[in-house]
Copies of this chain bind each other. A is one copy, B any other.
Amino acid sequence: MTLRVRDLDESGLLARFVPLLPTGAATLVGPGDDAAVVAAPDGRYVVSTDVLVQDFHFRRHWSTGYDVGVRAAAQNLADVAAMGGRPTALVVGLAMPADLEVTWVEEFARGLADACETTGAAVVGGDLSGGSVLMVSVAVHGDLGGRPPVLRSGARPGDVVAHAGVRGFSAAGFALLDAGVAEPSAGAPGAEGALAPYVAGFLRPAPPLDAGPAAGAGGATAMLDVSDGLLRDAGRVATASGVDIDLDAEALEPYAAALATAADALAPVADAPGRGAGRALEWVLSGGEDHGLLATFPPGAALPDGFRRIGTVRAPAGAPRVTLDGAEPAVGPGWDHFRA
């Protein structure tokens, strides 16, 4: 018989959940009291939060508990990296239906642990609650190592625009699943096959977490986590900094080339507007949720490991905007949670 959440009381569920969570050196008081206590060695900490809701951010029949755990941690960890910080601690809220399998909760904890494994970040507390649908909230904390945070507002004309991480893999993976061209199992951990990187990239994004503090140490003038698409998020840097950001189409070609296999697999069903030959570039420019890092560096600065030059910061002609080879890009600006 399948063990379900309703078969356990809160302490029974916690007894299965807590031992699976990641631990870390910054934890002074961990789970089990009213609150945790975390070290903040330079007298400050970075904090951000992200919420994932079933049917809005993930689908039960696509994502396993493990996938949701990895994704919830990864997109939060990326926010710390985008400030130039190293993650230290997460607190996790989980609302769940009473008929949820207990193994889902355990796999969710394993996903959190694997996403945190190389970072040193711990889950230091949380809240398990009933709910009519699955809902995950994570608040993430990080350490700036004594450096100033890298904000969105520091880009200056002449700066180099650079990117770390993949582009469009999550969008491609979603498109493959949505079209039925790939099954979720094609992206399971350890799965091989031509479409595995895309499906896995959608189910379990892997942000370039080390690139964030490297950029901070390397003099980045602005940085953000690309969660809503390159054009849209570059626009946020442009607006916050009061500059234009001109992307270099040639520099984006390797990103599009990395998506060719997914685009080819979708070609037979690629009859909708904006699909077809331009699909890979559209994923590069507008695909969200890869959680790569977009950063600007002073002219001539050596780019830290993991970053690739993709454009230039320019003085704005009018309202700050994002251009592609100096012209208005011919694709949409990304997506919005309330309208999509």
- Name A's B-contacting residues (CB within 8 A): 5-6, 8-10, 13, 28-29, 32-51, 53, 55-57, 78-80, 82-83, 85, 89, 91-95, 98, 124-133, 135, 137, 139-142, 144, 149, 151-152, 223-225, 240, 336-339
Contacts and interface: CB of A to CB of B under 8 A. Distances in A.
A39 B44 contact: yes
A62 to B, nearest CB: 17
B337 A47 contact: no
A24 to B, nearest CB: 13
Contacts of A132: 53, 55-56, 132-133
Nearest to A141: B47
Given A9-B339, A29-B149, A338-B130, A91 B35 contact: no
A339 B5 CA distance: 10
A53 B139 CA distance: 17
Given A44-B37, A126-B49, A95 B139 contact: no
A92 B47 CA distance: 11
B51 A129 contact: yes
A135 B134 CA distance: 11
A124 B293 CA distance: 22
19 contacts: A10-B338, A34-B224, A37-B44, A38-B44, A38-B45, A39-B43, A39-B44, A40-B45, A43-B43, A47-B139, A49-B127, A49-B137, A50-B127, A51-B93, A51-B94, A53-B129, A93-B93, A128-B337, A137-B137
Given A8-B338, A51-B127, 12 more contacts: A10-B336, A28-B44, A32-B152, A34-B48, A34-B78, A35-B140, A36-B48, A47-B139, A51-B129, A53-B135, A57-B129, A131-B133
Contacts of A51: 93-95, 127, 129, 135, 137
Nearest to A135: B135
For the complex formed by this chain, how many copies does it contain in all?
2
Nearest to A11: B336
B131 A56 contact: yes
Given A29-B151, A336-B9, A336-B10, A47 B137 contact: no
A36 B80 CA distance: 9
A49 B139 contact: yes
Name, among A9, A47, A56, A126, the residue most crowded by chain B CB atoms within 10 Å (CB to CB). A47
A299 to B, nearest CB: 24
Nearest to A126: B49
A18 to B, nearest CB: 14
Given A28-B44, A51-B95, A85 B338 contact: no
Nearest to A51: B93
B142 A35 contact: yes
Given A41-B43, A93-B137, A85 B35 contact: yes
Contacts of A6: 338-339
Contacts of A129: 51, 53, 56-57, 337
A56 B6 CA distance: 14
Given A128-B337, A129-B57, A225-B34, A49 B149 contact: no
5 shortest A-B CB distances, which residue pairs?
A139-B139, A137-B137, A40-B40, A35-B48, A34-B82
Contacts of A92: 49
